[in-house]
Structures are given as structure tokens and as C-alpha cells.
Chains A and B, each alone.
Chain A
């Protein structure tokens, strides 16, 4: 297809919006895997759980899905803390976190998925919001609010988290535990407690990302599996533990997917996107902004 400037601009903008959503989905893994070295393969399952909670409340009470996710964020935080505690006592404390810990999270992924199937069935679920279906048009640029609103909220979430990590005491402790756990221990801080807080935070972000997901696309319990590869790829591409890097990687991936889909055929999008990932890692193994 011939490259028209209007089409290219639209594709780039669509990619940025998509990238913003990818960033929200990935930020939790950026914390758990990037900072804490916990391979939480069940992260997408928590996202889907967040989607379903947003769906139930939206369907019964008409409350906006994103607002629902903020209201239930403390519950997700508590859930994340409980999951970490089990993981820490059963695996991390004994040094079994690598393979057995991974198996634990795999099990959690499937249990969550099956539980959702048993409770909700397998039909695709949608939510309703006033902004779904509305598109802002600026010349050749179309901004569907279905993508724009999650994008804006995602950026706000990331900015908030970055400020928390860089400006607050607990945030800096989380950064410290990712850099040197022993040094933190020598500072009389309990690394396990800090990691518990950080992991709980990552699960809380999953709940919010779930609301974004069900606004953007219909959801059924196994949809989370489509995101496992993506979230870890973006996390690694951006540089482990770097939020700005992760956001950049998410945007780049979204743009690459969107431009490829527009001009070369959507079938090529995953190959080009992951080819981009491999190329970047070949020249910069630590990721775009990794140290």
C-alpha cells in the first residue's frame, strides 16, 4: 500500500494510544519482574479478574469501569500482599523461587481462569460507558475515546507510580530492594516487607489495567493468555525496573504494530514487533533504558 502522510500519522497516533494501554498492562510486571525478580506469570489473570469486577459493577450499578477499578484497588492490593506472603513463605525463603515459584504462578493463572469460567461462563463480556463509541476527529486523526480514555488514565497511573517510587520513603525502599537487597537489610529494613508492598502494588495496577482492557475489547476468561508474552517482552525491551523505559517500549511496540498493520498487513505485526524487540536487545541487551 502506498504510504500516505495522513494514514501514517493516523497509524502512529493509534499506536501511541495502544502503547499507553500496553504500558498499563505491563507496569505491574515491571514492578514484580523488573524490580523484584518475581516471575509473576499470573499477572494477566489478575488483569482479567479486574476486568470481570469492572464488568459486574458496571452492569449492575452503571458505574464507570475505571472508577470501579480505583474503588477496588485496595482489595487488589490486599490480594497481592496475600499472594506474595504465600510465595515468600513457600518458595522465596527456601530459595525455591526459580522453578517452583514459576510453577506456583502458573497454577495461580489456571486456577484464576477456571474459577472465572465456573462463575461467569465463557461468553464474551462487555461494559458500557458514555465515551465508548464516541470518536474525536482532528483532520486526518481519529481519536476513539474507547482508546483515548484508557491511554490518558494509563499515563496518569504511570506518572503517579513514578512519583511514588522516586519521592516517597517506601518507594525509594522498593527501588533499593531491587538494587541491593542485602544493603537494604543492613539498613534495618525488612526486604520481605518491602517486596510485599511492591508486589501488592503490582497486583493493584493489574486491577486497574483490567478496567482498561474491558473498555477496549470484549473479555472472556482465557483472554489473559494473549498478554503473557507481550507484557514480559515490553518489560525486557524497556529495561528491567525502568518505568520510562517500559513506557517508551510500550509506545514503540504499539506504533510498530499499528504502522505494520496499516501498510504491510496486520499478519506481520507480531513478527515485526518481536523482531524489533530482538534487534534492540542485540544492540542494547539491558533494554532501552536499562542499567
Chain B
């Protein structure tokens, strides 16, 4: 009987050991299969959602392409994101959740200055490397050494936005002597206007109109009328999409007379406004980050746009993808390369690698300098020409967005005054 008991016990022990081995071999998840989580907030609703959705598509394309090649460090990449609703008040909560609850391994920012700045204290507290997307001078006060900005503002972001416009304007004939500046009461336009004041002073331009407007302004005709009353030679506007639309409409309705008109007008880079306004854009000098000119044909950009454009059309996001998407994609290229090169998710190592490296991306060579801004600015100023009708396809062709600045990418000369350039 004792033998029978021992036989039974031995059987139980063998079974238990076998089960343990099977469990460890099959059912237990291995560290190699666990995804690398990349967390971010993004404007999927609200005023900046047009760009936010486009950026998300670009980031998703990158994640899919990386996972198709085996992921990062042999692990798949998983995106964890929340809608910040273009509301800065949501940002601290989002990044607290991403870092403390979702336990993401890497973070990037949402789109825009207003949606990056509120995240900075939490990012700094957690010691994370943070790739920002299109923020203006976000790190100028923090001086955080693990912050990198994916917008080619250069080391002097505050002045870069107006520098290109004003230097291009100064090449007009007659050369401008007076300047009107106007922008929305919001972070980005106010920083841009502050820079414009300094650049204007340096170039010897007298500012004859200097005002801001609330973003909820309905009618811009009083503003444009007041600008016209000062007879400026150049008009620099720093605006978001709805105010860009309102100001352009008002400028046409009142037949604004000036030598050069335009500025840091966000919205003109989007296909929806390009399509809606069509020929109303002719003559306006504004900033782009990519234009289909022969001087801007960076490696990989064409393939990226070819992948992005059909998906954007399906998702109802920006159809052209010239503005934010290539930079969102390039930011992920940089982050991915840094992780692979350092073979770790150590935030300090990643940040040090990014600081020390010149990256080859779809938006060209990218190197980061002080405060994480690009070493060389690359804000391109273009003048819209020859747009007829409202067909979006014409914007994909060269010859309509003539690059005026910087000189290394220049593809034509400015046409002035604005009334002549319009037609």
C-alpha cells in the first residue's frame, strides 16, 4: 500500500514539474514580445485637429513600416495616444496618465506650441526625452536638455518666422519702408509678432500698425480696414486657420493695397484652404515647410507622400500632406534611430545620441543644437502664383509655390506689389 502511495505522489510531482516547464515555455510572455509603447496627446478634435489627424496618420505609417521590419530592439512598436481636443488644459492630465498609468516607454508631443508647453513640467519631472511637433520657442525658458523640436525654426525660433517673410519682402520693388503686424491673442502668434518687431527694427522698417485680435473674432474687415488706413508697405500676419481665412477674405473684399502681404499664416499649408481659396492665394507670401519645387526634393519624401496621400483621403485628413506629416514622420525616424543606435530605452542615452547626430530624414538632414532646436533654420517662404480655379491637383505640381527664401532653395523672385501679384 505504501508503494502505491509513493507511486501516486511521484506521479503528481512529475505532473507538476511538467506543467511548470510547459507554462514557462509557452504561456509565460517573454520580454522580447512586449511592445515598446510610444505615448502622446494629439489634436483629433478642435481647431488644430486638421493637422493633428494628418500627423497621426504619418506616425502610424512609421509604426507600421517599423513593425514590418521587426520593430525596435526586436520588439513591436505600439502607439498609445489620446485626443487633447486642442485644449491646453487637457495636456498635463494626458501625459500624467501616459507616464504614470500607461507606463509608456517613449513620449512625443502633440501638435502646436499651445499643446506642448503644458506638458513640459511633467516631461521634465519624469526625465523623458521629448520630441516636440511644431512648437515655437517652447524650450526657450525651460532649457531642458532632452527636448527636441521638429520644426525647422533654428536656434532663434522667435525671429525665424518673420525673418524669412521680411527678408523676402525687402527684395520687392519698391523696397518696403513701413510694416503692419497683426496676429491672434494666442501663444504662437504672439511669439511670432514679438520676433517680427525685432526683425523689423533690424531691417529699418517702421511699424505703423501693431495689434492683436481675439481668436473668436467673427469679422476681420474692421481690422483690415484699420491696417489699410496706415498705408503699410508690407503686412505681416501671424494667424491660425480660421483667422487666416477671415483675413484673406477681408483683404480681398476691401482690396487691400500694399507691396507685400502674408506672413506666418497657418492654414495656407492645408489642402482644404488651398482648395477653397484657389486664386485668392495668388500673390500671398507665406511660409511652407515643403513645396513640390525641384529645389526641395529630399530623399524619401516622394515615397512617403505617395503612401500618405491615399490614406489621408480615406481618413478625411489633409489631402496634400505638405505641412505637418513629413515632420511627424521624420521625428519618428529620429526617435527610432536613436533607440536602435543606443540599443536601449534609457532616456539620457537617447537624448545624448540625438544631440550628437546628424539624421537623414524625409525632410532632409536634421541636426539639433541648443535647447533642441535645429542648428540651421529651414522655414521656407513661398509666393503663390498662377493658381486657377479650385482643383487641388494643381498644388501638387511645381511652379505654383515659388520659393523666395532661403536662398539655397530659392526657385524664383518675388512679384510686387500685391495687387500685381494677385493677377
Residues of B contacting A15 in the complex (Cβ-Cβ under 8 angstroms): 222
Residues of A contacting B49 in the complex (Cβ-Cβ under 8 angstroms): 117, 121-122, 220
Residues of A contacting B52 in the complex (Cβ-Cβ under 8 angstroms): 122
Tell whether A180 is near chain B: CB-to-CB under 8 Å.
Answer: no
Residues of A contacting B50 in the complex (Cβ-Cβ under 8 angstroms): 122-124, 220
Interface string of A1-45 (1 = CB under 8 A from B): 100100100110011011001000000000000000000000000
B interface list, Cβ under 8 A from A:
44-47, 49-50, 52-53, 86, 185, 211-214, 216-219, 221-223, 225-226, 229-230, 241-242, 245-246, 249-250, 252-255, 267, 270, 272-273, 276, 280, 316-318
Residues of B contacting A262 in the complex (Cβ-Cβ under 8 angstroms): 222-223, 225-226
Tell whether A181 is near chain B: CB-to-CB under 8 Å.
Answer: no
Residues of A contacting B86 in the complex (Cβ-Cβ under 8 angstroms): 222
3 nearest interchain CB pairs? Answer: A266-B213, A122-B49, A121-B316
Asked whether, in the complex, the Cβ of B226 is within 8 Å of the Cβ of A261, the reply is yes
Contact residues, A122-164 vs B (CB, 8 A): 122-124, 126, 133, 135, 142, 144, 146-147
Closest approach, in angstroms, between the C-beta of B71 and any C-beta of chain A?
31
Closest approach, in angstroms, between the C-beta of B392 and any C-beta of chain A?
13
The 8 Å CB contact of A1, one of B212, B229, B241, B254, is B229
Tell whether A188 is near chain B: CB-to-CB under 8 Å.
Answer: no
The 8 Å CB contact of B212, one of A17, A133, A142, A266, is A266
Interface string of A216-246 (1 = CB under 8 A from B): 1110111100100000000000000000000
Closest approach, in angstroms, between the C-beta of B222 and any C-beta of chain A?
4
Asked whether, in the complex, the Cβ of A135 is within 8 Å of the Cβ of B47, the reply is no
Please give the number of chain A residues whose Cβ is less than 8 angstroms from any Cβ of chain B in the complex. 42
- Given the interface pairs A122-B44, A124-B245, A217-B245, the reply to whether A14 lies near B185 with Cβ below 8 Å is no
Tell whether A269 is near chain B: CB-to-CB under 8 Å.
Answer: yes
Interface residue SS majority, chain A: helix
Asked whether, in the complex, the Cβ of B272 is within 8 Å of the Cβ of A144, the reply is no
Tell whether A263 is near chain B: CB-to-CB under 8 Å.
Answer: yes
Closest approach, in angstroms, between the C-beta of B202 and any C-beta of chain A?
25
Residues of A contacting B44 in the complex (Cβ-Cβ under 8 angstroms): 122
Closest to B182 in A: A266
Q: List 26 A-B contacts (CB under 8 A).
A: A4-B229, A7-B225, A14-B221, A17-B219, A121-B49, A122-B49, A122-B53, A123-B270, A124-B50, A124-B272, A126-B276, A142-B221, A144-B250, A217-B246, A220-B49, A220-B50, A258-B219, A261-B217, A265-B211, A266-B223, A267-B211, A267-B214, A269-B213, A269-B214, A270-B214, A270-B216
Residues of B contacting A11 in the complex (Cβ-Cβ under 8 angstroms): 222, 225
Closest to B50 in A: A123
Residues of B contacting A144 in the complex (Cβ-Cβ under 8 angstroms): 221, 250, 253-254
The 8 Å CB contact of B241, one of A124, A216, A258, is A124
Closest approach, in angstroms, between the C-beta of A4 and any C-beta of chain B?
7
